[in-house]
Amino acid sequence: MKLDGILPFARKLIEKAVAPGDIVVDATLGNGHDTLFLAKLVGNSGKVFGFDIQNEAVVKTTKRLEEHLLSDRVILFHSGHEHILTKIPSENHGKIKAAIFNLGYLPGGDKTIVTVPTTTISAIKQLLEIMAPEGIIVLVIYHGHEEGIVERDTLLQYVKQLDQNNTHVLQYQFINQQNAPPFIIAIEKR
């Protein structure tokens, strides 16, 4: 297939925005795959700030980073992403080049603990406030469950009303696949 799958496309968007030495955010740690990817991208002089409400996600991510000797460039918060503005030190505000969200539930974890639109939208608003110009937010939306449908619909409504003078909003989605495949919303700060 010549078209990029959802996760490879998400990573390509991030790679375009991030260089060694940059500051980035993993808003939903999950099992640590994106955190590791981001830690490699920012290099020795960069910084990753990671958030998750589940201790299990923080533990798995910490272990993954330690296995790759990259813990020194990552700060993890056992906290929801709606606290980005207060958790990320102010000296980093205006310098964040990218953020990624994998919305839904922790793969292999408790499926009753899910991301919700109120905290996700709060995090997006905060990121847009403290990101660098041309910074990008990538949302991978998993909507194959009841709460995911609510989050999907609420987020789509929210991003469609973002001012085009301040942001570019992209939706990347395979529209002929069954079983509610994930899709991407990318927001670039102008």
**CATH number of residue 67's parent domain:** 3.40.50.150
Q: Is the pTM of this model over 0.95?
A: yes
Q: What confidence tier does 1 reach under pLDDT thresholds 50, 70, 90? A: confident
pLDDT, residue 106, reads: 87
pLDDT, residue 78, reads: 98
Q: Which helix (H) or strand (E) holds 11?
A: helix 6-17
Give a yes or no: residue 178 inside a domain.
Answer: yes
**180 residue type, one letter:** A
157-180 mean pLDDT: 96
Give a yes or no: residue 111 inside a domain.
Answer: yes
Task: Supply the DSSP symbol for 20.
Answer: T
Give a yes or no: residue 134 inside a domain.
Answer: yes
pLDDT, residue 125, reads: 98
Give a yes or no: residue 24 inside a domain.
Answer: yes
**Structural domain harbouring 112:** 6-189
Give a yes or no: residue 110 inside a domain.
Answer: yes
Number of domains comprising the chain: 1
> For residue 129, which of 85, 161, 162 has the smallest C-alpha distance?
85
pLDDT tens digits, 41-99: 999 999 999 999 999 999 999 999 999 999 999 999 999 999 999 999 999 999 999 99
How far apart CA 58 and CA 109 sit, in angstroms, is: 12
Give a yes or no: residue 143 inside a domain.
Answer: yes
Give a yes or no: residue 1 inside a domain.
Answer: no
pLDDT, residue 107, reads: 87
Give per-residue burial for 111-132: e unless 16+ CB within 10 Å, then b.
eeebbebebbbbbbebbbebbb
pLDDT tens digits, 101-158: 999 998 888 889 999 999 999 999 999 999 999 999 999 999 999 999 999 999 999 9
